[in-house]
Amino acid sequence: MTSAPHHAAWLRAARQSLTVGEAPPTPPGPGQILVRNRAIAINPFDGIVQSLGSVVTPWLRYPAVLGSDLAGEVLAVGPGVSRFAPGDRVVGLALGVEKAANHAAEGAFQEHVILREACTARIPPGLAYEQAAVLPLAFATAACGLFLPRHLGLRRPSVASVEQAADQAVLVWGASTSVGSCAVQLVAAAGYAVIAICSARQFEHARRLGASACVDYHDPAARERIVDALGRRELAGVLCLAVGAAGACIDVAARCPGPRKVAMASTPVSLADAPLEGQFGWKLRRLARLALGFAGLALRARRGGVRTSAIWGSSVVQDPWGSRLFEDFLEPALASGRFRPAPQPLVVGSGLEAIPEAMATLRRGVSARKVVVALPGALPG
Ligand SMILES: NC(=O)c1ccc[n+]([C@@H]2O[C@H](COP(=O)([O-])OP(=O)(O)OC[C@H]3O[C@@H](n4cnc5c(N)ncnc54)[C@H](OP(=O)(O)O)[C@@H]3O)[C@@H](O)[C@H]2O)c1
């Protein structure tokens, strides 16, 4: 079996609703894998591309298929693929809307998806597709911000257990987000202490994943509490994963001993509520606030002597080390239990028709959950 007609949730033009329709068969090319999709996870980016594609992904060709996260089983492999065989259960990062791919067949929101070998990992037999699907973009984004030299440049994580350095800690602001749930585990696997910032109801979640100290971001004295939690250790870096939190992250980095680096995955103001229609006024106001927000952060960082960087998570696989991350870290770490899929999936429906409601659920907000759609009825290969 190479490929067959199937269904996709199409974004037929910018700012349109998704519509489910037939998609052409696409055979996997060199280094590619064809996967029968069993579970899709939703990311904030999906809704932002749908409503603000002309701003955030101006290269996108329509009709497009959105979606970064999926788990399923391999149907066929392309030339040169040696790590996978038909029948393998895998999780993968779909690159359909990435500039370098820009290819509807590689978007996650469809029944049969083309994945790249470097962005795919086998999953252990006991791991449900719905659980595995929470990982790819969150894992890639966390690894990108934490370990690439242009961001925090931390020591790399190890699949073997590592001793925690007594003198260095990393701050993960947004530890209960999907990206944060991966970041806390990766930082611990790299041998640093983790100071986790989340709401108090998620302290236990962060501790289970490896955080050694937790601070509630609602606490007006949060910055002081972080400095106290750091104690005499050096702050090796700050990963900022919450909209509007970068100012506080910069302030903390400026106050603490260490390299004063903040890697930011989120924006100073939210872009998640852009309307599909009548956007002009919204764009004018929000994009102006966004530009002002970034300018304010740049000024604050300069004053505090802090180096900031903006993360594009999927770019991690263009790095020589990052291109082996799914193979050398994620796959063995999932198999050994050293890395766990987190947060828990919130399965809101089944079938491609459930995706718009799943995206709306994420827009309304989740706490330490990843919104997932199951695809049990995907067409047989
Ligand atoms: N640049 C990239 O490549 C890239 C890739 C993926 C994601 N992102 C961005 O990274 C961020 C996280 O994404 P996600 O999908 O992981 O988000 P998510 O899981 O949907 O985030 C929900 C969580 O946000 C937390 N939160 C809200 N405000 C917070 C604050 N001020 N401080 C700390 N935590 C706060 C909530 O924590 P509590 O429940 O504890 O209150 C909740 O658990 C988003 O801004 C997303 O757009 C960027």
- pLDDT for res 166: 80
pLDDT per position as a tens digit, 13-60: 999 999 999 999 999 999 999 999 999 999 999 999 999 999 999 999
Asked whether the predicted pLDDT for residue 150 surpasses 60, the reply is yes
Most informative mutation of 43, 177, 316 for ligand 1 (most atoms within 8 A of CB)? 177
CB 322 near ligand 1, within 6 Å: no
pLDDT per position as a tens digit, 67-78: 999 999 999 999
Return the number of other C-beta atoms located less than 10 Å from residue 3's C-beta: 18
CA of 339 to the centre of ligand 1 (A): 20
- pLDDT for res 46: 98
Asked whether the predicted pLDDT for residue 109 surpasses 50, the reply is yes
Of 1-5, 297-301, 324-328, where does mean pLDDT reach its minimum? 1-5
CA of 241 to the centre of ligand 1 (A): 5
Asked whether the predicted pLDDT for residue 130 surpasses 90, the reply is yes
- pLDDT for res 381: 39
CB 366 near ligand 1, within 6 Å: yes
How far CA 338 is from CA of 44, 93, 160, in Å, comes to 27, 20, 8
With 0-12 / 13-18 / 19 or more C-beta atoms within 10 angstroms meaning exposed / middle / buried, residue 32 is buried
CA of 266 to the centre of ligand 1 (A): 7
Residue of minimum CA distance from atom 36 in ligand 1: 367
Cα-based torsion angle of the residue sequence 203, 205, 211, 212 in order, rounded to the nearest 10 degrees: 50
Q: What is the pTM of this model?
A: 0.97
CA of 352 to the centre of ligand 1 (A): 24
| Dist CA 108 CA 352 (whole Å) | 10
| Dist CA 2 CA 23 (whole Å) | 15
- pLDDT for res 163: 83
CB 368 near ligand 1, within 6 Å: yes
Return the number of other C-beta atoms located less than 10 Å from residue 119's C-beta: 25
Whether 341 and 135 have beta carbons less than 8 Å apart is answered as yes
CA of 267 to the centre of ligand 1 (A): 10
CB 65 near ligand 1, within 6 Å: no
How much is the mean pLDDT over the chain? 96
| Dist CA 104 CA 111 (whole Å) | 12
- DSSP H helical ranges for 210-319: 222-230, 246-255, 280-304
Joined together, the tokens standing for residue 354 give: 């459930």
> What is the atom index within ligand 1 of the atom nearest the CA of 245?
31
CB 141 near ligand 1, within 6 Å: yes
Strand 112-116 with 32-41, pairing: antiparallel
**Residues listed for the chain:** 381
Whether 352 and 22 have beta carbons less than 8 Å apart is answered as no
User: What is the rounded average pLDDT of the residues 333-347?
Assistant: 97
CA of 189 to the centre of ligand 1 (A): 21
Asked whether the predicted pLDDT for residue 2 surpasses 80, the reply is no
Domains of the chain from N-terminus onward: 6-134+343-374 (3.90.180.10), 139-314 (3.40.50.720)
Strand (E) positions, the chain?
Answer: 6-11, 19-23, 32-41, 64-65, 69-77, 89-93, 112-116, 120-122, 168-173, 193-198, 213-216, 234-240, 261-264, 307-310, 344-350, 369-374
- pLDDT for res 79: 97
Joined together, the tokens standing for residue 366 give: 């989740």
Residue of minimum CA distance from atom 27 in ligand 1: 242
pLDDT per position as a tens digit, 261-278: 999 999 999 999 999 999
pLDDT per position as a tens digit, 167-215: 999 999 999 999 999 999 999 999 999 999 999 999 999 999 999 999 9
* Local confidence band at 1 (pLDDT 50, 70, 90 cut-offs): low
| Dist CA 276 CA 47 (whole Å) | 10
Q: What is the DSSP string of 220-234?
A: TTHHHHHHHHHTTSE
| Dist CA 358 CA 9 (whole Å) | 13
User: What is the rounded average pLDDT of the residues 101-128?
Assistant: 97
- pLDDT for res 237: 98
